[in-house]
Structure 1
Amino acid sequence: MPYTESGVSMLVLAENESESKIEWVFLKPLTKELWFATVIFFLFTALVIWIIEHPRNMEYQGSNTRQLSTALYFAFSTLTFSHGQIIKSPLSKIVVVIWCFVVLVLVQSYTASFSSILTVKRFQPSVTDLDQLLKNGDYVGYQEGSFVNSFLTRRGFSERRLRSYTKKQEYAEALRKGSKNGGVSAIVDEIPYLTAIVSDPHYQKEFQMLKRIYKTPGFGFVFPPGFPLVHNLSTAMLDVTSGDEGSHMETKWFGAEAVFPSNAIPNTDSAPLTLKSFSGLFIITGCISTLMLMIRFSMSILANYTQIRDSDVQSPDVGGRNDAHEESNQAQNSMGGIVADIHLHEVRIDSSQDIHGSVERADGEEPRPIQNGPVPANSTQTV
């Protein structure tokens, strides 16, 4: 019976993320596609709000710069829910309610992912698997005389890309140099040997062992054929390894923080949020915004059609009123002509008076001068 589990794993240099460009870590919770889609929908929502509110809302009128800044400020202010009450149309309110729900989900998801990234361990493996090493053409180290050489050759590595070492100090020095400086990018060896390096206080937190990439039967004791104590030793070994005593011995020899195959997995951050996770929300807000925009255009077209129809209905009445006005003017002109004829006839009658201001009487009496003064009340004058 083996006294310890075995297998083949990789030892890599742990990359301290705090030394990298950590100032851009706030971009990691979302993928590039999701960032791009979020910005596009912010601009689309601003455009929809502006189109709906522009005709009647004074806040969205004025110079082009003022209209643009107002629409963009309102759309991006929904990110922090600090937008003011500068919308009046019910269509705009529907768009804003749906968009604020999408923003709420995005903000909460971003906050959770960002918190996870900031709270996990900052040590990350520089290499994750053998395929990455093979693709990059990196150098790989192994223990001299080990079967790992044939294992790596079968996986596609050429002999000139393999370097053998005999001591753990050589392992550490090669990993520190890296492939570009005469070292290696990873050490491939059996797990018990790599565990001894990881548990060494001199290399603590400097290197990291990844998960097992190849399984072997394990390490055991070798005895001559027919040795009488083989069965007893195997039974005693099984009792030790299956109980707590084996775990205590491993902790004493390799340390409590030693990395064993059972938990030797890459220490990576949580995966970023993808566009696929929020595609349904974007489809909903896009459809609602487009529908409200179509309703706004339909209402505008209907209002213009109604105005044109009303003007066509009122045009005959206006013509009738003009004809009646012309007939009234003609009637007034006719009456004016009649009155002018009457005045002209009176003038002609007055002209029959002689130069002495006297007129002939109808009964043939002598004419008498016309009095210039007032006429007595009991007298009459015939014309």
Structure 2
Amino acid sequence: MDLMDSQKVEAILGPQTSEETSSVAEIASKKQIPVLSFADATPNWATERWPFLLQASQNQLAQMKAIAAIVQSWEWHQVTVIYEDIDSSATGILPHLSDALREAGAEIIHVLALPHFPSSRLSEELEKLKGGQCRVFVVHLSLELAVHLFEKANKMKMMEKDYIWITTDAFTSLVHSINTSSISSMQGILGVRSHFPEDKPKFQDFCKRFRKRFGAEYPEEDNNHEPGALAVQTYDAVWSVALAMKQKSEKLNQKLLRRILLSDFDGLTGKVEFMNQKVAPAHTYQIINLMGKSYRELGFWTYGLGFSDTIIDPKYNYSSMKDLGQVFWPGAPWYTPKGWTLPAKDQPLRIGVPIGSEFQQYVNVEYDELRNFTYFGGFSIELFKALVEKLPFYLPYNFIPFNGSYDDLVKQLYLNNFAGVVGDVAIVARRCQYADFTHPYTESGLVMIFPVQKSGNKTLLFLKPFTRAVWILVAVISIYNGFVVWLIERNHWPELTGSALHQTGTFFWLSFNLHGEKLHSNLSRMTTLVWLFVALVISQTYTANLTSMLTARGLEPTVNNIETLQSSNAIIGYSRCLGDYASDLKSRKTGAVFLEVAEAKIFLAKYCKGFTVAGPTYKVGGLGFAFPKGSPLLPSVIEALLKVSESGKLRELETSMIASEKCMEVNLHDDDDISSLSPSGFWMLMLALLKHWENHIKQQFNRRVGQEESSGISSDTHEARFVLSLNIETVA
């Protein structure tokens, strides 16, 4: 403060950390002296609290989106962040990086804060990171600390294959100043730095003068005379203040702060202007790749546009960094690192498997005490084994039995006790807070299973295909048709004459028994032809309806929907044993059972008679495999599961599982078999047939009697001859 008074300071440039900026801004605001800060980011509350505070460096928060775009391009899903714990602005970028990664489908799983001065703790922290599975590291450190970090990581063999290192502008913008011996330990690093229009004459002139003066003052620096980002930003900040102070003599009534905020000129960083007391944020970043004794420029990333090969009139913009060309990775592998490491062979993944599944067809765990061996089988187990074979890498694992509820089993993933869960685990919302699931590997849906309905009275079963109205209509048409034929043929057919009673009987007989060869009139033949066509349609319809009724009557459920269950206060069944469902439904202890579609197929395959599915299918998540939240293994497992499904192996396993079930008879009704027919359904037809046969015998007997009486034979002889003739007809 004394310096401000004695030297009549009008502006302050230089604070690079949030702590420095806060201290200087607190004092300068009281004196109404503008402070131009070069911290990475200045929060809005700071400029509101200290109105004379200006951020002269470009906001680097957009840089976090550039890093997230790189992570997304190579399909990495987990990131470890290493930052320098000396500045609150460093921790301030973490939320922005976390949000950007989340939008890109990735997340920060570990954060390592390092002190400004290197310590022995660095080796311990790197050893912990080396023991983890994540291999993608985002480094936000100063030049000195970053060099020390990479030298230590190189000694610990963390700059080899499968490791990925991404550095921010704080380090990348000064890569040119690193000596050859140090850069040899940084091979394969990807760096993101601010882009400046270096092709413009003004920038080239500045670089020329900077190299000349810097070389004269620091001759010990070998060829490291290129200006960094801080030098370029400082140059523009000084020009902003200088131009504002130049106008002071011309416009004495304006304050210096206001004139600085009105800055509008082309600087080394581009267009220099202030918005809300901050220089316009950077939108374009350059991506470099350290290799050999220096680095290679891969391309650019622009906010809202994506990646491009050049910033000067780019022809194409790419959504992925893969389009920028080959990247030199640490250890020089020919492949792209997957961003995580597999467990060692002596440390296979622990895969939890539920014990006591109610559907042993999916998961069957048996322990052999004699051999001290646990057997794991079932559809889910075999599917997981087939899935592992489709992975593009070797995956060691061990099945671990778990005796507890399925919810507790999924929670073990959250507690890091298991690396995955394999079994008939339903995908439900409450479990998603503890784990991530694969796509369902079974048909998803919830169905209701009911016992079939007991058949009713079968006595008049043959009348059921038509309603009473249809039967009456058929009778009326038949009688009408017989009347028309009788009316036309009565003068040509002697049998249609006689007494009124005889003609009435003949009339009804014609209604159901027409012989075309006996008809004399073409009109009666046409009438008969139409009636025969109608009779054919009626008979075929009758046969189809009767067949349908005989087939479907054993499949009618006792209840048709859930509303009926609710209104009747029926009990919904749940059991740990498949057989209990059948017995409870049979005894009516439960009104219905809700099962997954896949489980219902097994139930109906085993109990193929006596039960059926009714009502709608309720959409649920289905069955899937579970993994810890953000597991790097999950994307590869999902892809492998799709390959198994597309190859037909999934359908083959499911068909084999269902085909292995032997149908078991469950007699729900003690009186008869619901799928079989008995004489009780047709006794009335049989009675009518017997009555018809009796009438036919009487008619034949009376006719013979009349003939014999005319010949003078006794009645006893009539009966004997008639019986004998019947026997002869029967034998014939």
Q: Under a length normalisation based on structure 1, what TM-score does the superposition of the two structures give?
A: 0.49
Whichever structure has more strand as a proportion of its residues is 2
Specify which structure has the higher proportion of helix.
1
Greater relative contact order (Cα < 8 A, sep 6+): 1
Pick the structure with greater CA Rg: 1
